[in-house]
Amino acid sequence: MSDLRSAVRPAPDSILVTIADYVMDTKLESEVAFQTARLCLVDSLACAMKALNFPACEKHLGPIVPGAEMSRGARVPGTKYCLDPVQGAFNFGVMIRWLDYNDTWLAAEWGHPSDNIGGILMLADYLNNQRLENDEKPITMQELFTWVIKAYEIQGILALENSFNRVGLDHVILVRIATTAVATAMLGGNKEQIINAISNAWIDGGALRTYRHAPNTGSRKSWAAGDATSRGVRLALMAVKDEMGYPSALSAKQWGFYDVLFGGKSFSLPQVFGSYVMENILFKISYPAEFHAQTAVEAALALHDQAKNRIDEIDKIVIETQEAGVRIIDKTGPLDNPADRDHCLQYMVAIPLLFGRLRAEDYDDEVAKDSRIDLLREKMQVVENKQYSLDYLDSKKRSIANSVQLFFNDGKSSDKVEIPYPLGHKNRRDEALPKLMDKFSYAMEEVFSPQQQDKIEVTVNELENRMNMSVGRFIHAFIPQ
């Protein structure tokens, strides 16, 4: 048994070392990963630009206090703000995450690896501006994508078998860990400094999932990831100034993360870090909805024609989903705000049954006051399909299946519409790509002039074959002219 009185400093926890070694030393060679990273950045920009249409998001943007902007700082795409990289990371992280429309990773823990792009892109722009001021070589998009792939990998591999949600912690803890590790390396930190930074990130503990679940669901779930990635940048900046670390931050008896917050269990790392997560990332192409509901929305949309004129004749609606879907988004009772509605499986099925669509605006009060929505919700039965749950956890499938079936008062029923893989899944990637680019184009139209849209299109198309483009040039295309 460990002597809790001993002040002998132990060797760093192995996971801290493994992450630092990966960030510092692993060379990435997967062309699939780099091209997918490009798509993830394009998708994240689409999500961010669409978020600018929502005042609830816009009020979070800008400097932490009025006037605290920074020349040659981090330029926030879609805005005129130029901020310190910590606040820039918060701004862009909030924009990416606001509509719950960015890419997703599902395993024992779930989350959105593109949340890290808020911190990585803003820190890269800040550093690039400092390099240019000192007549140094600019940061390339190839370098940026290397950091993005590594952040995705850290978050995603830690999520494979370690369920933070089961102990009440929110998945944004993994955003903070991944951003911290990568940002420290971006700042030129050495291995020891990266370990120190990550140890402080774990010591921060984790945000409670309170704000994601009834009866407390609220808008913090839309800015929590921006907060996490910005915290990662802050810890990195501290680490490269030689702020000390805590080698047994995870394993220390009584006081470490495992004992305090993880039920005494240590983390499992079932595979080595590489580029697996980026190569298998899930895109939200069609619907701004919590990812466990994506295929349910698609199934409901397929039933719209059978439902729209027979709403009053529906006796019940049976939704089969995975265990995670039941646990996270099976929700009854009143839904008081958009954050409540976009994490309610029944609401997300009712809208396409009624209207043949699901848009971000459909979570607003104006749509939600339609009494037919709650009428349909009351008729829904959500049940776990055991096979769906098994396929969800199968590393070779990563299915996110749902089915929807309507039953009418006359004893008849619709077909059971079953969708095993959402449009953004790797198994449907070819089908999804044109729609992803449409999503991007529509988002740009909402923010930029036609002339600037043309410049953005040229920049994005050029990036496909020219990853030595500078970060500064790329971001400049997205600053309103």
CA distance 196 to 23: 14
Residues 72 and 154 in one domain: yes
Domain range for 334 = 291-422
Residues 112 and 28 in one domain: yes
- Give the predicted TM-score (pTM) of the model: 0.87
Identity of the residue numbered 285: I
- In a domain, residue 131? The reply is yes
Last residue of a domain, one of 401, 422, 443: 422
Q: Domain check: are 45 and 164 in the same one?
A: yes
| Shared-domain flag, residues 188 and 321 | no
In a domain, 457, yes or no: no
CATH number of the domain where residue 174 is located: 1.10.4100.10
Residue 436 within any structural domain of the chain = no
Alpha-carbon distances of 458 from 50, 122, 339, 466, rounded to whole Å: 20, 22, 36, 12
257 and 396, same domain (yes or no): no
18 burial via Cβ count (<10 Å: 0-12, 13-18, 19+): middle
Query: Which residues 6+ apart lie within 8 Å of 302 measured at CB?
Result: 417
On whether the CB atoms of residues 466 and 38 are closer than 8 A, the answer is no
Note the pLDDT of residue 1.
45
Residues 170 and 54 in one domain: yes
In a domain, 476, yes or no: no
- Whichever domain contains 327, its CATH number is 3.30.1330.120
Please compute, for residue 72, the number of CA atoms within 13 A of its CA located in the half-sphere on the CB side: 8
Q: Which of 143, 164, 292, 319 is nearest to 228 (CA)?
A: 164
Q: What's the token pair of residue 146?
A: 């290397």
Q: Which tens digit of pLDDT belongs to each residue from 276-312?
A: 999 999 998 878 888 899 999 999 999 999 999 999 9
Partners of 320 in the β-ladder: 383, 403
Q: Looking at the domain assignment, is residue 434 inside a domain?
A: no
pLDDT of residue 2: 56
Residue 182: HSE in the Cβ half-sphere, 13 Å Cα cutoff? 31
Residues 142 and 216 in one domain: yes
Contact 190, 130 (CB under 8 A): no
User: Does 7 map to a domain?
Assistant: no
Question: Residues 52, 157: one domain?
Answer: yes
Instruction: Say whether both 134 and 48 belong to one domain.
Output: yes
Residues 6+ apart with CB under 8 A from 158: 109, 174, 177, 267, 269
**For residues 308 and 359, what is the distance between their CA atoms, to the nearest angstrom?**
18
Question: Peptide bond before 247: cis, by omega within 30 degrees of 0?
Answer: no
Shared domain for 125 and 261, answered yes or no, is: yes
Residues 119 and 141 in one domain: yes
Decide: helix, strand or coil at residue 180: helix
**CA nearest neighbour of 26 among 127, 171, 194, 147:** 147
Asked, for residue 208, whether it belongs to a domain, the answer is yes
Q: Dump the DSSP string for 291-348.
A: GGGHHHHHHHHHTHHHHTT-GGGEEEEEEEE-HHHHHHH---S---SHHHHTT-HHHH
Domains identified in the chain, total number:
2
Tell me the C-alpha to C-alpha distance, in Å, between residue 311 and each of 298, 404, 466: 18, 15, 53
Residue-wise pLDDT tens digits, 429-441: 889 899 999 999 9
Residue 190: which residues within 8 A CB-CB, separation 6 or more?
A: 24
Residue 428, domain member (yes or no): no
- Are the C-beta atoms of 354 and 373 separated by less than 8 Å? yes
Do the bridges between strand 314-321 and strand 380-384 make them parallel or antiparallel, or are there none, so unpaired?
parallel
Contacts of 65 (CB under 8 A, 6+ apart): none
Given 422, 438, 472, the domain boundary residue is: 422
Residues of the chain with pLDDT under 70: 1-4
Using alpha carbons only, give the angle 250, 103, 439 rounded to the nearest 5 degrees: 160
Tell whether 111 and 244 lie within a shared domain. yes
- Domain termination site, one of 390, 422, 454: 422
